């Protein structure tokens, strides 16, 4: 099954960021395991290649693009572009799930603000599905604080929230009228998912870095109650190695 990409991207955004070399370019390869909330769909383990670029205004991290519009005194405002989640129903072992329509990948564009200080970093973004699959909005907010044990080892705990508009919630977790002969139509309102986790970054040498992540996402009760969902949470683990030129 193709896994919800916001989970993957939030992982990649932090664990592939580079901070120890002069070059703006880095590459990374990782293995990630993500639980599926959809009924009778196994945890997916995937290998993901990544290319990262950190310029003066333009930033590419994994599969997300940011362009800084304003930056001063720890505050930044940027335009952002990122793919969203998707679900191939044929990956489920449940015939009723297999018969559902595919939930296609969306592309979200919008604006993001960040503030960094000695107490940590706050991020918030509002984006819209510009491909029109769900034609909905998302709000993402998170807080993280890096604990520097040494030059080599940094641990970063984080907490976050993702708010999906009713259009996004229904497209990915609802059942449309006439879509299924097994499930009654199911409609959701806006949904709120909470997450928390821990990132680890270890500097092997000037160019090589080892990154690890564990993350837990608590799903909204409306998502839990969907007939096509059989879990109230999603667990994510990841291990990656990055090289900065």
pTM exceeding the 0.85 threshold for the entire prediction: yes
Q: Hey, what long-range contacts does 217-221 have (CB within 8 A, 24 or more apart)?
A: 217/7, 217/193, 218/193, 218/194, 219/37, 219/191, 219/193, 220/169, 220/191, 220/192, 220/193
- Looking at residue 47, its pLDDT comes to 86
pLDDT tens per residue across all 245 residues of the chain: 344 444 455 444 444 444 445 678 888 888 889 888 998 888 888 887 888 898 889 998 878 899 999 999 999 999 999 988 888 888 888 999 999 998 988 899 999 999 999 999 999 999 999 999 999 999 999 999 999 999 899 999 999 999 999 999 999 999 999 999 999 999 999 999 999 999 999 999 988 999 999 999 999 999 999 999 999 999 999 999 999 88
Domain ranges for the chain, please list them.
Answer: 1-29+66-164
CA 151/CA 206 separation, integer angstroms: 11
């Amino acid at each position: 099954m193709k896994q919800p990409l916001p989970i993957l991207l939030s992982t990649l955004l932090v664990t592939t960021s580079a901070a120890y070399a002069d070059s703006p370019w880095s590459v990374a390869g990782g293995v990630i395991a993500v639980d599926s909330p959809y009924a009778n769909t196994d945890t997916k383990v995937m290998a993901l290649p990544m290319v990262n670029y950190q310029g003066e205004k333009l930033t590419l991290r994994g599969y997300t693009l940011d362009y800084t519009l304003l930056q001063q005194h720890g505050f930044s405002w940027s335009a952002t572009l990122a793919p969203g989640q998707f679900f191939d129903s044929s990956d489920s072992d449940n015939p009723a799930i297999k018969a559902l329509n595919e939930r296609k990948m969306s592309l979200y564009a919008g604006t993001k603000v960040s503030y960094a200080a000695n107490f940590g970093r706050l991020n918030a973004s509002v984006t819209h599905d510009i491909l029109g699959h769900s034609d909905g909005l998302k709000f993402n907010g998170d807080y993280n604080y890096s604990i520097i044990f040494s030059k080599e080892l940094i641990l970063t705990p984080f907490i976050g929230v993702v708010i999906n508009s009713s259009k996004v919630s229904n497209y990915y977790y609802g059942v449309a009228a006439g879509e299924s002969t097994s499930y009654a139509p199911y409609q959701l309102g806006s949904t709120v998912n909470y997450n928390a986790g821990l990132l680890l970054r270890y500097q092997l040498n000037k160019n090589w870095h080892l990154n690890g992540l564990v993350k837990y996402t608590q799903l909204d009760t409306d998502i839990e109650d969907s007939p096509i969902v059989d879990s109230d949470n999603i667990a994510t683990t990841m291990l990656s190695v990055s090289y900065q030129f």
